[in-house]
A and B are shown apart, each in its own frame.
Chain A
């Protein structure tokens, strides 16, 4: 049976743990069908119960932060897209907001509305992908999980089709620029969005029903992987993970950016902190995102979408030596950018750019949450942590 997390010692010395227990070391990954990317967890198993779990990150480390010191601010936007490769809009917005805050550029209202719409649609798409892969984790790629995966991706494809209409890319858009957006929306986009979100809203109701009524889903997720709220915030975990553990914290409501200050963002929390709670929080967040899009899609003000003169060279954005941290609420939590200006190319590059990735914090809770569970539970928990390796490793 799962143990309470307060008894767990993440730095348990396995040599002295229990000499009589014949522990088996099992490597979950880096090549594994369901570690959500290249990720390795070394499990010490006593039969089927995990005694100690040691996660190893860094298999997908591509040196993005170093690269950002060489490339200019204009050039790093498509590079940073590939961090959280499931919700690229968020990555772009985080970087672009950091530059705008340092240069104190005012972004036009129309661009802010566009950014909010894109962010909320991206949130729905990201949670749909999470739901599909979570179903596969629970039920196998050849089974009921695959059916859920196909349904979720059917919905996600419609959203990606909307993005393709606006930016030309289904994925990794490069649609944000320092000072605003690069691509504008059309009335056709608004019409398509409205029909799409109505369809998705209906389907999400079905998914909520699956999770609350199917006995096997409940058995696999209820009481599994309980994450204490205090431990979560101490680890730096924010977003749906923390909200499922009872932490009432959402940057869209508490520290608003874009136009969230003018909207009423409902924040959903659950107190159980188990996999079922995280699932329900994300499902409800999807409904909330759809509600936000429905509210603002028709009231996008007219005007320009870029607040500064479009530059002709890659070095037209220059930031002097100063430091600032800006953050947004990504589908995984607080995605932040710590930017120190005054780098090479006479300030056209960053001196130091650190991307505060929520998935890295989420993954660091594994030594606390895994012990006491079986291997099947470990996969279910890893699914609900929703780690994106591109973001964990950068």
Chain B
């Protein structure tokens, strides 16, 4: 989980992994292979990619959006069809009801479910997610985070996710990398980072949800909003 303020370099780091951006220095290995030696197009087809703007193809129906990568990979049609139905079930949308709809007929939450399904379609075990739930309303967002955590466990996915939401990072992450002004400040398990912060900024950042909760509690007790 890449965590940090806007403009600190999280997204840039993420995009170097599927070579949407080429690193100026350093090397990246996936399962021991230097990705600089892999064709970027083949690399990207083997890595799922989900981002905040979703980017569904508005002129193609839901089934076509989900089946795009398998189609690029040359899967036979019936295999693509059954895979699409399987994925729609996985992200909690009935295949018969949704597969022939166009993307603009769906809510934001439903669209991002399709975005996740599209990223999973070719069976990649690696997912890159750039603030995938950032544009959703809080309730939809919480539901989706929980469901995605389940999917991740079930499919044993390796996910690199960018977020600036501390709570989301704490709930989902095995390991958190905290970035600031283009540099890696700290990396470790959430518990370790909270209990033994290597840097005052890390402590301040990771304790934000706790401080917010305390404020909420005070409001609930009627201690006034002025302190906020």
Is B a genuine binding partner of A? no
Which residues from chain B sit less than 8 Å from chain A, CB to CB?
none
- Name A's B-contacting residues (CB within 8 A): none
